[in-house]
Structure 1
Amino acid sequence: MIARRLALLATLLLALPAAAQAPAPAPKPKLVRKYSVKLDASSLTYKLHHPLHEVVGKAPPSDGGAAFLSDDTLQVQVRAKVKDFDSENSNRDAHMQEATEAAKYPLVEFKGKAYGVKPPTSFPATMNVTLEGKLTFHGVTQDVKVPMTVQFTSEKEATATGNFNVSLEGHKVERPSLLMKKVDDKLVLEPKLVFVVEGA
C-alpha cells in the first residue's frame, strides 16, 4: 500500500516540471493606428442587372472603422442601413426593402481582416489589400473576400475603394422582378470608404 502511494507521488512530482514548461499564450497584439469612417464622404453602392436595365443604389455607411495592429493585421468593420439605399426611384426602393425584409433585417454588415499589412511610413501612398471576412445581409452571414485599393493622402486620412459580388439567393433574398423577369442573382457591391485617424 505504501509502495503504491509512493509510486503515485513520484508520478505526480515528475509531471510538475512538464506542466510548468507549457508554452505561455501569445501576447495580444497592440493597436498601432485606429481610424473611423468619415460618414458624409463615404458610400456603399450596389448594382443589379435586369434584362431591361441596370439598377444602381447608393447609401452612406451608418458607422465603421479600421485598425492596424502590431501583428501586421488590418481589421475593418462597416455597417449600413438597408433603408438608406437610394436608387432614385421610390417605388423600386420600396420593392427592394420588401424583398430584403428591411424592417426585420435593417443592417448590412461587413467584418474583415487583411494579414501581413503594415501602415505606410511615407505619403502619399497606395496599398492593395484583400480583406477576408464575413458579410451579414438579410440575416444570413457568408464568407467573402474583398479586394481593396487604399490610397493614403496623409498619415491621418485614407480612401479605400473596391468591389465584390454578393449572391441574393445565397443570402435567401427572393430576386425582385419586373415584367415577369427577375434581376440577376449577382449583386455587385462597391464600397468607397474615407477613413480618418481617431482624434485627428
Structure 2
Amino acid sequence: MKKLLVACLFFALPVFAQSNSQWTLDSSTLTYHITHPLHQVAGTSHAARGKGICHDGQCDFLIAAPVKSFDSGDSNRDLHMIQVTRGAEFPIVTVRFHLPESATNAPTISCDLDIQFAGQTAHYRNITFQQTIQGAEHHIKGTIPAIVSDFKITPPSFFTVPIKNEMPIDVDLTWHSS
C-alpha cells in the first residue's frame, strides 16, 4: 500500500507542479497623440503597472495607469486634460485583454482590448503588436487606434476649434514571465 501511494505521488507530482505562469510589467511607455489644426500634442506616461496570469492555455492581462501620470510638457494642458477626461472622478485608465498562452511566444500578437477611461469602456478588436523575446523578457510595441468619442469626451478646443477625434496611443511595454 505504501509503495502504491508513493507511485501515485510520483506520477501525480508533475500535475501538481504545473503552476500558472505569471507575467509582470517591468517598464512601460504609453503615449497618446492628439491633433489640432494649429499643433500636435503627445502626452507620455511611464507609470503603468500590469499583471498577467495564464491558466489552462488562456492568459488574462490587466494594465493600469494613473490619468495624471501623462505628461505633455505643458502643465496647464495636462491639468485641462485631467479635467476634460474627468480624471478626478476616474483617476485610472485600464486595459484588459486575453490571449491564448501560445500567443505569448509569437513575434506578432493580435488581441481584443477593453479600455476603461473617463468612466467609459471602449472595445478595440484585432489590435496587432510586435513582440521581441529575450529569455524571460518580452518587449511589446504597437499602436491602439483610440478615438476621443469612444470615451464620450467632449473634444477640447483651441481658439474654438476642437481637436481631431483620433487619439492613437503608442504602446511600448516590457514584460517578464515567471
Same fold (TM > 0.5): yes
2:43 matched residue in structure 1: 57
Query: Once the two structures are superposed, what CA deviation does each residue of 1:4-39 show, in whole Å capped at 9, x if it has no partner?
Result: xxxxxxxxxxxxxxxxxxxxxxxxxx755211001x
1:172 aligns with 2:152: yes
- Within 5 Å, give how 1:181-192 maps onto structure 2: 181-192=161-172
Structure 1 residues 92, 119: CA separation in 2 closer, same or farther (over 3 Å shift)?
Answer: closer
Which ranges of structure 2 fall in alignment gaps of 5 or more residues? Answer: 1-17
TM-score, normalising length from structure 2? 0.82
Structure 1 residues 114, 57: CA separation in 2 closer, same or farther (over 3 Å shift)?
Answer: same
Assess if the C-alpha contact under 8 Å between 1:66 and 1:195 holds in 2: no
Q: Residue 168 of structure 1: CA displacement?
A: 1.2
2:24 matched residue in structure 1: 36
Assess if the C-alpha contact under 8 Å between 1:161 and 1:193 holds in 2: yes
The letter of the residue matching 1:108 is V
Number of residue-to-residue matches in the alignment: 160
Assess if the C-alpha contact under 8 Å between 1:68 and 1:119 holds in 2: no
Larger Rg: 1
Which ranges of structure 1 fall in alignment gaps of 5 or more residues? Answer: 1-29, 121-125
| 2:32 aligns with one of 41, 46, 52 | 46
TM-score, normalising length from structure 1? 0.73
1:151 aligns with 2:136: no
Assess if the C-alpha contact under 8 Å between 1:68 and 1:118 holds in 2: no
Q: Residue 197 of structure 1: CA displacement?
A: 2.6
- Alignment identity in percent? 22
Whole-Å Cα distance in 2 between the matches of residues 69 and 128 of structure 1? 21
- Within 5 Å, give how 1:63-142 maps onto structure 2: 63-71=49-57, 73-115=58-100, 117-120=102-105, 127-142=107-122
